Structure formats: C-alpha cells, structure tokens
C-alpha cells in the first residue's frame, strides 16, 4: 500500500496539466489504497488541488487547472464522487476483470452527472439513507480558502448504533481530524513528495525565482526569506527586459548589476570596475585628492564654505588642481542646498537640477573639455544617422532630446561624449520610464560612435575601439555611469563602470566620496577621448601612419559583406 499523498504527487507529476482529472486521481488511490475511507480520499484530493491553486510561485497552467477543478466541486459533485468511489470499491471482482469493449468509454471519463444504471440508482438511494445518520459539516473550499473545520454529527436516535459502530465512527472522526489538521500525525514522506512536486513546477514566467532564498505560502500570502549571503543590489539601476536583451544581443553586449551578461570578457571588465569603484581607483589617479576630500567632509556645517575655500592640496599637478576645484564648487552648491533640503518629489528634473547638474557644470567650467547643454537638447548624432538611412520620417524618428548633453571642445570633431537622462524624481521610480531611457541612452551613444566612425573612417580601427561614450542615468537618488564602445566589428559593448547614491542632506555628505569617484572616472575618460580624437584626426588625414585595419576596412566593409 502506498501513501495517498505520494500517489497524488506521482499522478500530478506524470500527467500534463490539461489532462488532470479528478476521477483519474480517484482511480489510482482506490486501486492502491482500497481500504481508505471515502471522505479521506475526497479530502486529500481536494486539499492537494487547493495547495496548487494558491501557490503563487507555480506554473500558471497548473494553478489554472487546479482552480478550475475546484470550481466544479459543489454538493452535487460530492455526491457523484461518493457514488463513484462506492462503485469502484464494491464492484464484483469478475466485473472488474472483464476487458471493456472498444466503444466503452473509460469509467473516469464517463458523465457522472446522471446515474448510469439501476444498480447505481439503488446505490444512490442507499447513500441518501446513510446521509440521515452521518452529516459532515465543513467549510467550503473555493478559490484560496483553506479548510479549517470539520465535524461529524451522529444521529442519537439511530437504532443501528452499537459499540462496534461507535468505535468505527470514532476512528472515522480521528482520520478526518487528521485530514484537516495534518500536523498531529504528519507524514514526512507525503509532505516531502508533494513539496517536490510543487518545486518541480517553478520555472515559468509567472514567478520570480532567484538563488539563496526560500518561498513560504502562509494564509494565502507568499513570503520570501533570504539567506545572509544574498546581498541585494539596489533596484534603482538602468534596466533592460530579458526579451529586449535577447533581441539586441546580435549587436550589443551589456554588463551591469541588473543585467545578466553572457559574454565572459565583457563581464570580466564589469567585475574589474566593481573592484575599482570599491577602491576609489579613479580618485587615486589624482594625487592628494582623497586626503583633501576626507579633510573637507569633516568640516562643521556652519564654517564649511570659509574653510572649504581656504583649504588647498600640496601638489602642483594640474589635473589634481582641476579635481579639487570641481569638488569645491560642487560642495558649495550642496551646502547651499542643505540650508533647506528639498523634499522628495516625483518630478524627475527637480532632484536632477538641484543635486546632479552642479558637479557636471563644475566639470565643464573647470576642465574646458566639454560644452554642456541642459534639458531637452537634441542629439545631433541621432539625426545624422537617420538622415543617412534616408527615412522619410527621419525628423520624427531621429529626434532624441537629452536631459544633459556634453560635446567635446578643441577636438577635430564635436563628439557628443556625455549623454544624461533622469528617469524619475527621488520619491519613487517610474519603471517604464527607466526601461525606455536605458534603451534611449544605448541608441544615442552607439549613434554618436557611428558618426565618429564616419568622421575618421581612414584612421586606425584599434585606436577607435578605445573611444568611449559616457552615459549618465539618474533613477531616484542614484546615478549610474555606463561606458559604451566598440566590442568587435559587429557588436557594441555597454558596461556599468560606476554607480552611487547622490547625497541629499548634510548627514549624507560622506556619500560624496563615491560620487566624486564617478566624476573622476568621467574626467579621466574625457581626457582620454581628447587624446584619441586628436590621434584619429591625424591618422585620418595621413599625418600619422598606423598599422592594421582602418575603421572603414574593419567596420564598413564588414557590414557590406
């Protein structure tokens, strides 16, 4: 004899969802456990279907089918099932041994809404008489309701009541109590097998399944408990839906904290950038700046502006002096903001203007590397690419307005090298806006590089691969820097290199260590871009010889073949 729960689990696992059938379940249980009480059979089948119907992390097909089967479970259906079980249990052995004719429908697929023969009429009459002696009162199971009570009431006037009958009914009461309160005599094997069945259903798109956690269903609620090692990344990062990643994978490889990367070389670059951010490697490239930053962030609020501007660094390094001034101008603006910090707002530009723009304006004015335009500045590269495509709707399709756009200064071309988007205010994230802006930044950055490949098509392809476009994506109070460049002759790469929270109050000022690490990373990238563009200009015009393929040979000819 097998355990009922194990039999149910085996049936549900082996039979496809759309083929699940209550009578099929009953057949298997009766065949393997012929002595089990009828009410116990019905209760266990019903409870198994109920567990599936309320399991929020299960296949939608399994949940839907279980809910549908429970939906047909009314009093009349209970009567039909009781009659069916009686017929199966007490059918003569010779009758069960006979081979059914080819035209005969399998018993569990027959219509059980009407009695099938005179014998069934007699069975039904006997069942009605028995019902007068024993009444089962139970809370109905429907949708996500869980059975919580079950009572057997025995008619005291029954002349058939004897000692043997009392013991039998007492045993029946115990078994039904065990059915609805299984913790009294829980079967480890049954629980494990049914849990394994549920676990085997968890793989489709209607649930989120991650490592290092357990999902518990309690009172029709799904609870998730993470293990200590499951360190959560911030959710407020650039996002790309899996279907979109798959759709663009032929042309773009992306790596970041919220994006799974299948290219190991690109993933390794992302992992190295995580290490560099942890160590503030970009700030280390500017002598004395880390010590300067540590000193000024400890200045009291009241004396901050005076002491900030009277503090200097002990070096004549030109780039370090630039970085010091960027920090001073940015923190002066921050000190002003902290006199009356802005409240959380859903308006995407308020936080962006107050706390993000000041550092980039300081970068522009101090370094002279770029020229910034703010709020709804059209990207020229996109327009040029769509014009080249000859699209009749180029004016509409190619019109991309940026929240912040920086073009290179004093270079052969005015490359659009820093692209900025704010997707939400600092109170809550607008996820659809985040998804759209992530792809928008990817489109615009790759088009910027396309324009530069046209401008320097006779220059070194290897040098061009080192040219990067910086994209800044602000989501709530977090800012993420990605760098986009050529991976190979047919694909781009977009790698998250820095991310941090932007301080909003004086108490959060230590967060500027990571914010200025991000700014320093951009400054380094812009100095590199200036050198690369000058090199590409000389090579394109034949002033500097180079070895290897030109951009035209590597990209344009590759695309045409």
pLDDT in tens, 262-313: 899 999 999 999 999 999 999 999 999 999 999 999 999 999 999 999 999 9
pLDDT for residue 94 is more than 50: no
* Sheet strands (E) in 455-531: 469-475, 478-488, 491-501
- Residue 344 confidence (pLDDT): 67
Instruction: Quote the percentage of the chain above a pLDDT of 90.
Output: 42
Residues paired with 455 in a beta bridge: none
Q: How confident is the model at residue 559 (pLDDT cuts 50, 70, 90)?
A: low
Cα-Cα end-to-end distance for the chain: 69
Report the distance separating Cα 549 and Cα 514, nearest Å: 39
Residue 364 tokens read as 């522009």
499 or 76, higher pLDDT: 499
pLDDT for residue 509 is more than 50: yes
- Residue 69 confidence (pLDDT): 76
Residue 330 tokens read as 């940015």
Reduce the secondary structure of 214-246 to three states and give it as a string: EEEEECCEEEEEECCCCCCCCCCCCCCCHHHHH
Report the distance separating Cα 175 and Cα 164, nearest Å: 17
The answer to whether 242 and 228 have CB atoms below 8 angstroms apart is: no
Query: Angle 421-424-429 (CA atoms, 0-180°, nearest 5)?
Result: 130
pLDDT for residue 202 is more than 50: yes
Q: What is the Cα gyration radius of the chain?
A: 36
Read off the pLDDT of residues 433-470 as tens digits, 9 standing for 90 and up: 888 899 999 999 999 999 999 999 999 999 999 999 99
Read off the pLDDT of residues 348-380 as tens digits, 9 standing for 90 and up: 678 899 999 999 999 999 999 999 999 888 888
Please choose, from the candidates 398, 402, 401, the residue with its C-alpha nearest in 3D space to the C-alpha of residue 421. Answer: 402
Report the distance separating Cα 525 and Cα 528, nearest Å: 5
Report the distance separating Cα 269 and Cα 498, nearest Å: 12
Look at 25-34, 165-174, 405-414, 490-499 and tell me which has the smallest mean pLDDT: 165-174
Read off the pLDDT of residues 54-75 as tens digits, 9 standing for 90 and up: 765 566 667 777 777 777 666 6
Query: Which of 155-164, 179-188, 252-261, 324-333 shows the highest mean pLDDT?
Result: 324-333
Mean pLDDT, rounded, for 202-228 = 62
Report the distance separating Cα 157 and Cα 196, nearest Å: 48
Q: Where are the alpha helices (DSSP H) in 340-416?
A: 348-351, 357-367, 380-389, 394-397
Report the distance separating Cα 361 and Cα 328, nearest Å: 12
Report the distance separating Cα 451 and Cα 414, nearest Å: 10
- Residue 332 confidence (pLDDT): 97
Read off the pLDDT of residues 116-162 as tens digits, 9 standing for 90 and up: 444 444 444 444 443 343 333 333 333 333 333 333 333 334 444 44
The answer to whether 177 and 150 have CB atoms below 8 angstroms apart is: yes
CB within 8 Å of 415: residues ≥ 6 apart: 407, 408, 448, 451, 452, 529, 533
Residue 7 tokens read as 């039999």
- Residue 181 confidence (pLDDT): 42
pLDDT for residue 487 is more than 50: yes
CB within 8 Å of 505: residues ≥ 6 apart: 338, 341
- Residue 424 confidence (pLDDT): 75
Cα atoms in the 13 Å half-sphere on the side-chain side of 499: 21
Q: For the chain, give the mean pLDDT.
A: 76
The answer to whether 424 and 346 have CB atoms below 8 angstroms apart is: yes
The answer to whether 249 and 258 have CB atoms below 8 angstroms apart is: no
Look at 135-144, 218-227, 480-489 and tell me which has the smallest mean pLDDT: 135-144
- Residue 518 confidence (pLDDT): 98
The answer to whether 482 and 494 have CB atoms below 8 angstroms apart is: yes
184 or 199, higher pLDDT: 199
The answer to whether 364 and 372 have CB atoms below 8 angstroms apart is: yes
pLDDT for residue 187 is more than 90: no
Residues paired with 315 in a beta bridge: none
- Residue 43 confidence (pLDDT): 74
pLDDT for residue 415 is more than 80: yes
Look at 34-38, 191-195, 495-499 and tell me which has the smallest mean pLDDT: 191-195
Report the distance separating Cα 311 and Cα 215, nearest Å: 55
Query: Angle 277-329-445 (CA atoms, 0-180°, nearest 5)?
Result: 50
């Amino acid at each position: 004899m097998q355990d009922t729960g194990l039999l149910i689990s085996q049936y549900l696992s082996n039979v496809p969802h759309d083929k699940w059938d209550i009578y099929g379940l009953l057949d298997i249980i009766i065949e393997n456990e012929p002595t089990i009480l009828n009410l116990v059979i019905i209760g266990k089948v019903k409870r198994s279907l109920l567990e599936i119907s309320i399991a929020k992390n299960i296949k939608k097909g399994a949940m839907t089918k279980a809910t549908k089967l429970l939906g047909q479970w009314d009093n009349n259906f209970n009567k039909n099932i009781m009659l069916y079980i009686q017929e199966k249990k007490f059918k003569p052995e010779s009758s069960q041994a006979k081979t059914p004719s080819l035209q005969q429908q399998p018993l569990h697929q027959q219509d059980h809404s009407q009695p099938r023969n005179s014998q069934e009429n007699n069975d039904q009459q006997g069942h009605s008489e028995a019902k007068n002696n024993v009444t089962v009162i139970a809370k109905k199971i429907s949708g996500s309701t869980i059975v919580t009570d079950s009572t057997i009431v025995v008619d005291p006037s029954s002349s058939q009541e004897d000692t043997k009958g009392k013991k039998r009914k007492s045993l029946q009461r115990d078994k039904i109590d065990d059915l609805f309160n299984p913790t009294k005599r829980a079967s480890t094997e049954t629980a494990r097998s049914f849990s394994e069945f549920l676990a085997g259903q968890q793989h489709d798109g209607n649930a989120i399944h991650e490592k290092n956690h357990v999902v518990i269903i309690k009172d029709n609620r799904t609870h998730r408990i993470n293990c200590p090692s499951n360190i959560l990344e911030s959710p407020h990062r650039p996002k790309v839906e899996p279907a979109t990643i798959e759709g663009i994978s032929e042309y773009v490889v992306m790596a970041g904290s919220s994006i799974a990367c299948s290219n190991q070389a690109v993933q390794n670059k992302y992992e190295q950038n995580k290490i560099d951010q942890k160590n503030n490697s970009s700030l280390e490239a500017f002598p004395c700046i880390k010590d300067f930053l540590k000193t000024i962030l400890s200045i009291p609020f009241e004396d901050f502006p005076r002491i900030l501007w009277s503090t200097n660094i002990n070096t004549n390094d030109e780039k370090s002096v630039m970085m010091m001034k960027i920090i001073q101008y940015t923190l002066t603006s921050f000190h002003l903001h902290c006199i009356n910090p802005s409240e959380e707002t859903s308006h995407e530009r308020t936080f962006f203007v107050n706390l993000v723009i000041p550092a980039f304006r300081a970068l522009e004015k101090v370094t002279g590397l770029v020229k910034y335009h703010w709020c709804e500045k059209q990207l020229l590269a996109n327009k040029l690419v769509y014009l080249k495509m000859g699209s009749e709707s180029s004016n509409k399709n190619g019109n991309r307005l940026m929240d912040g756009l920086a073009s290179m200064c004093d270079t052969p071309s005015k490359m659009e090298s820093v692209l900025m988007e704010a997707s939400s205010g600092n109170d809550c994230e607008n996820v659809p806006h985040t998804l759209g802006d992530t792809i928008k930044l990817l489109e615009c950055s790759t088009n910027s590089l396309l324009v530069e490949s046209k401008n320097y098509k006779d220059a070194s392809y290897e040098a061009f691969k080192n040219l990067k476009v910086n994209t800044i994506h602000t989501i709530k109070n977090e800012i993420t820097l990605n760098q986009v460049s050529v991976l190979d002759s047919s694909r781009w790469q977009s790698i998250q290199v820095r991310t941090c929270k932007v301080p909003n109050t004086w108490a959060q000022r230590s967060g500027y260590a990571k914010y200025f690490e991000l700014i320093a990373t951009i400054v380094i990238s812009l100095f590199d871009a200036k050198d690369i563009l000058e090199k590409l200009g000389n090579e394109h015009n034949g002033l500097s010889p180079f070895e290897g393929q030109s951009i035209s040979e590597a990209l344009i000819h590759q695309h045409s073949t």
